[in-house]
């Protein structure tokens, strides 16, 4: 999605280095350490710069030499160490894009993506910073990144309505989610499905086709948006579907003009009663486990809260529990939510209500980047919260009943991986290898954009 790239481009140069700083203690002196180029000392901490693609190899080397990794922090290739870690640069740039209100975040939805990226800046050429993103599109032109889905979801509804024959729904309500003083426009939209046969389950997405023609004179292509409601809808009557949509807005890098996303702007300002072209549903990667005793870790930034809201409603809402006697959640859910300001805590009242009613089953941890500070005195991002609770998260992740869901801007995984790498290393476990096992077991779910 090149709209996002127009803003993210400034960070791409820095992120390209992808250097991490390992703080290591306990490295022993030996013939092998004497021959290394690294500044091994007899005592105290050793700080080692490690490229992202060599993190696993270096961790094995440190373990072999008897060392213990006590922290891993992202840095850029140009930052001096000076005997101490230099914190927050590379990943913080990405996290700021993921949580702030000034980024063009994929047509405003936590996991929305245009199938035809050329339509997003109608009347403008592609920003240069977007070229690399466009190269990474999958064959269908979709820039949303997903891990491979399970193959045993044959009963999950998919593509009931296609782009050439969409369902025409109607807007029931369109409510603002950002409180006064917040950043950007984010809306909760509810659509009437009673005239059709669109069924879906939590974790899926639907497509929206905006009206009009693109700059090439062709009909606008659909954009995908994560569903923010349970299969029964907000009214628990099986007749609605809801979305959480942020209006895309950014400055054109060449002209300086303000550019608005075609589809997100269309949705954010729809009036009740308006018609909407809907396709789908699609997606099998982000589905909840059927086990009511499961543990669910959720890490989201901005409108990435959309599928998490659906999960939490299914797990904890009274009307939902009454509608699902076969699924009475008794496990533990933990949401780590990154936003720029308190007014941007989407669905804040709903989340707090669940936390108060189910204190033993739900935990909310917020990372409010422009109001809170991390231990290094910088802005508090989601990866800082993960690092803060890394040991506890690691113990939970090891539980075979635990599923982890990540939703937000592409790149947020790196900071999360770095924090969990440190926690796993304390037990001699290589996080990336363990993560592969989680993915194979369908317990690690990622959808980024």
Q: Is the peptide bond before 281 cis (omega within 30 degrees of 0)?
A: yes
Reading the block at residue 320, the tokens are: 């939902």
Q: How far apart are CA 98 and CA 108, in angstroms?
A: 11
Q: Is there a catalytic annotation at residue 407?
A: yes
Q: Which of 226, 229, 333, 369 is catalytic?
A: 226
Q: Which of 8, 407, 414, 434 is catalytic?
A: 407
Q: What is the DSSP string of 37-65?
A: SS---SSS-EEEEEEGGGHHHHHHHHHHT
Q: Which helix (H) or strand (E) holds 436?
A: helix 431-440
Provide the Cα torsion 106, 109, 112, 118; round to 10°. -30
Q: Is there a catalytic annotation at residue 225?
A: yes
Q: Which of 22, 225, 405, 434 is catalytic?
A: 225
Q: Is there a catalytic annotation at residue 358?
A: no
43 closest CA partner among 24, 71, 61, 21 = 24
67 closest CA partner among 15, 25, 4 = 25
Q: Is there a catalytic annotation at residue 14?
A: no
Q: Which of 22, 311, 347, 449 is catalytic?
A: 449
Provide the Cα torsion 408, 265, 129, 74; round to 10°. -20
Q: Which of 120, 202, 285, 447 is catalytic?
A: 447
Q: Is there a catalytic annotation at residue 22?
A: no
Who contacts 409 (Cβ-Cβ below 8 Å, separation ≥6)? 4, 8, 94, 95, 97, 98, 103, 105, 106, 301, 302, 448, 449
Who contacts 198 (Cβ-Cβ below 8 Å, separation ≥6)? 160, 161, 167, 169, 206, 241, 278, 280, 281
Catalytic residue list: 225-226, 407, 447, 449
């Amino acid at each position: 999605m090149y709209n996002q790239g127009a803003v993210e481009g400034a960070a791409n140069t820095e992120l390209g280095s992808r250097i991490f700083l390992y703080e290591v203690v306990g490295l022993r002196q030996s013939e092998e350490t004497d021959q290394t180029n690294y500044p091994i000392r007899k005592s105290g901490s050793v700080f080692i710069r490690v490229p992202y693609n060599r993190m696993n190899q270096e961790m094995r080397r440190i373990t072999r030499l008897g060392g213990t990794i006590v922290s891993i922090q992202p840095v850029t290739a140009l930052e001096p160490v000076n005997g101490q870690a230099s914190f927050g640069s590379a990943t913080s740039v990405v996290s700021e894009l993921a949580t702030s209100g000034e980024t063009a975040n994929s047509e405003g939805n936590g996991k929305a993506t245009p199938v035809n990226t050329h339509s997003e800046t109608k009347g403008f050429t592609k920003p240069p910073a977007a070229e690399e993103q466009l190269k990474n599109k999958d064959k269908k032109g979709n820039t949303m990144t997903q891990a491979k889905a399970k193959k045993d979801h044959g009963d999950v509804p998919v593509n009931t309505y296609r782009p050439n024959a969409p369902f025409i729904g109607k807007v029931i309500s369109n409510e603002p989610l950002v409180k006064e003083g917040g950043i950007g426009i984010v809306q909760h939209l509810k659509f009437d499905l009673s005239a059709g046969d669109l069924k879906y389950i939590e974790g899926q997405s639907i497509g929206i086709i905006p009206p009009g023609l693109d700059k090439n004179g062709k009909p606008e292509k659909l954009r995908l948006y994560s569903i923010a409601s349970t299969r029964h809808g907000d009214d628990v009557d099986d007749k609605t579907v809801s979305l959480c949509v942020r209006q895309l807005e950014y400055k054109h890098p060449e002209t300086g003009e303000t550019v608005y996303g075609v589809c997100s702007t269309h949705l954010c300002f729809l009036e009740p009663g308006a018609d909407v072209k809907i396709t789908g549903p699609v997606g099998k990667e982000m589905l909840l486990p059927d086990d009511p005793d499961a543990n669910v870790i959720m890490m989201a930034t901005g409108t990435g809260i959309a599928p998490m809201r659906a999960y939490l409603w299914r797990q904890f809402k009274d009307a939902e529990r009454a509608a699902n006697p076969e699924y009475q959640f008794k496990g533990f859910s933990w949401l780590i939510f990154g936003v720029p300001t308190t007014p941007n805590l989407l669905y804040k009242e709903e989340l707090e209500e669940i936390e108060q009613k189910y204190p033993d089953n739900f935990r909310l941890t917020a990372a409010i980047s422009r109001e809170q500070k991390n231990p290094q005195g910088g802005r508090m991002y989601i990866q800082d919260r993960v690092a803060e609770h890394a040991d506890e998260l690691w113990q939970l992740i090891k539980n075979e009943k635990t599923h982890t869901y990540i939703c937000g801007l592409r790149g947020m995984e790196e900071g999360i991986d770095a924090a969990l790498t440190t926690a796993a290393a304390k037990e001699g476990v290589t996080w990336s290898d363990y993560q592969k096992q989680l993915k194979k077991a369908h317990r690690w779910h990622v959808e980024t954009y």
